[in-house]
């Protein structure tokens, strides 16, 4: 069995005052037998960031807030926050047992009757079917 974590970014609504042009759905997939090892590895990585960049273990890393509105994270220099994000991307890329996929919907030319949330899920499911067919 595989475990999947899905997170959304942006507003799924299509109206003139929508705060975002894009609706994004990203997922991380891993095998159930690997989750404990990956969690231990992730905790070690977060400890490394705590020890080298002063990032608390409970601090969340959200790119927009992390860079543009750091709040309490102002205690960490901007170039170090950027480096933390790079290290996070490198950590994910270095773990071959993690699969990352993203669906991005540009809402700019969509009809007001379109259900962006449902469309994103439909694409997400089709992506899974495609990946299952092409996996060797």
The model's pLDDT over 27-74, given as tens digits with 9 standing for 90+, comes to 999 999 999 999 999 999 999 999 999 999 999 998 887 888 899 999
Q: Is 97 helix (H, G, I), strand (E, B) or coil?
A: coil
CA distance 136 to 131: 10
Q: Where are the domains of the chain?
A: 2-24+58-134
> Rounded CA gap, 124 and 20, in Å?
20
Given a contact cutoff of 8 angstroms between Cβ atoms, the answer to whether 43 and 59 are in contact is: no
Q: What is the pTM of this model?
A: 0.78
Whole-angstrom Cα distance, residue 12 to residue 24?
Answer: 9
Q: Please tell me the distance from the alpha carbon of residue 41 to that of residue 35, in angstroms, as a whole number.
A: 10
Nearest to 44 by CA among 76, 103, 6, 87: 87
Residues 70-102: tens digit of each pLDDT:
999 999 999 999 999 999 999 999 999 898 989
């Amino acid at each position: 069995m595989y475990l999947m974590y899905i997170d959304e970014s942006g507003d799924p609504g299509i109206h003139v005052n929508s705060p975002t042009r894009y609706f994004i759905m990203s997922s991380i997939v891993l095998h159930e037998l690997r989750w404990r090892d990956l969690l231990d590895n992730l905790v070690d990585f977060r400890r490394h960031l705590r020890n080298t960049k002063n990032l608390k273990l409970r601090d969340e890393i959200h790119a927009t807030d992390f860079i543009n509105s750091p709040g309490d994270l102002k205690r960490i220099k901007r170039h170090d926050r950027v480096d933390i994000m790079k290290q996070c991307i490198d950590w994910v890329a270095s773990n071959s047992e993690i699969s990352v996929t993203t669906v991005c919907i540009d809402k700019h030319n969509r009809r007001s009757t379109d259900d962006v949330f449902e469309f994103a899920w439909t694409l997400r499911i089709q992506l899974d079917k495609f990946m299952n067919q092409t996996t060797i």
